[in-house]
Structure 1
Amino acid sequence: MWLSLIEKSEAIRAIYRDSIPPLENVTLHEIKITVGEDTIITIKIDITTLPGELPKKWQANEINTVQLTFDLIKARIEKFDLNSPVSMVTRICILEDSGSKRMTLTSSSNAEVLVIRSSWIYLQSISAYRNAYKAGSEYN
């Protein structure tokens, strides 16, 4: 499972417990590259799979979207297809490969849109918000 390859992932397990969400039908929110001695690529995604029991703060805000931010440390981009639609990602696959982590973002046409290899993947943050666009579409 992808969560076992993520460092500092306790917050996801605490919120989702035994129902860890799949990284499918996600929205790619942001890609940020920080250069330096160790290149860091930050990936921010939105998922709509909510935990079975919402934290009280999330209940009060009537959230419908969870946002996960990952930092890929000592990262390098192996593939970045700017000709493919990059915002809607059908699947994110995280695997261990030859001692490193490999994150692959795949489009609805099953094309690899972005492939990143890194030494580590850290959960930087987990948050939630009410996506007005999604909320509006629930009633259409």
Structure 2
Amino acid sequence: MTGWVDLLSESHGIRAIYGEDLPTLASVDLHELVLHRDGPRATLRFDLAQFPRTPPKDWADQGFNVVQVQLTLVEVEHLAVAGWTTHATLDLDVERRDGVLLLRTSNGPVGVSIDARWLVLSHLGAYCRSQ
């Protein structure tokens, strides 16, 4: 089965951070959904539930404990959003079907459905979330 990292147009950044223990898109904390008419594009910014076992030295030195990513879907063909809230923990599912990438949310208070041609990891960073 193909994972979401395999569907990225360029995956070396996330593979370098996580190695063989690649993160899932289960229980992500969705912060933002931005729509761009150029492309057209849709960008989701969220925190991953898994922190790397061996984080980069600068992340460890700064006490970072959360990885935040931005996924951008390019050449959006269909988009639907149902609901919005101040805290949305949900699962993201991404698959390729007939040459189209399908991103869907499940198990959360926000429904997002996006069909696009490309999936790009447009940002990968970390920060310290207070416990």
Shared fold per TM-score greater than 0.5: yes
Is 1:9 the counterpart of 2:7 in the alignment?
no
Alignment partner, residue 127 of structure 1: 125
CA distance in 2, matches of 1:41, 1:131: 26
Structure 2: distance between partners of 1:84 and 1:56? 35
Alignment of 1:17-96 (within 5 A): 17-36=19-38, 38-82=39-83, 87-89=88-90, 91-96=91-96
Are the aligned partners of 2:88 and 2:108 in contact in 1 as well (CA < 8 Å)? Answer: no
1:107 is matched with: 107
Deviation at 1:58, TM superposition (A): 0.4
Q: Which amino acid aligns with 2:51?
A: L
Name the Cα RMSD after superposition.
Answer: 1.9
The 1:101/1:18 distance shift into structure 2, 3 A limit, reads same
Alpha-carbon contact 2:43-2:71 (below 8 Å) kept: yes
Answer with 1 or 2: which has the greater Rg.
1
Deviations 1:62-89 (A, max 9, x none): 1111001111101144431116887211
Deviating 4+ runs (over 3 angstroms): 83-86
Q: TM-score, normalised by structure 1?
A: 0.84
Query: Matches of 1:115 and 1:7 in 2, distance apart?
Result: 20
Distance across 1 between alignment mates of 2:49 and 2:97 = 28
Per mean C-alpha deviation after superposition, the further-off stretch among 42-51 and 114-123 is: 42-51
Aligned residues: 129
* CA distance, structure 2, for counterparts of residue 12 and residue 100 of structure 1: 22
8 Å CA contact retained: 1:71, 1:123: yes
Q: TM-score, normalised by structure 2?
A: 0.89
- The alignment-based identity, stated in percent, is 23
Deviation at 1:60, TM superposition (A): 1.0
AA aligned opposite 1:29: H
Whether contact under 8 Å (1:66, 1:127) holds in the other structure is yes
Does the CA-based 8 Å contact 1:6-1:120 persist in structure 2? Answer: yes
Contact 2:47–2:66 at 8 Å: present in 1 too?
yes
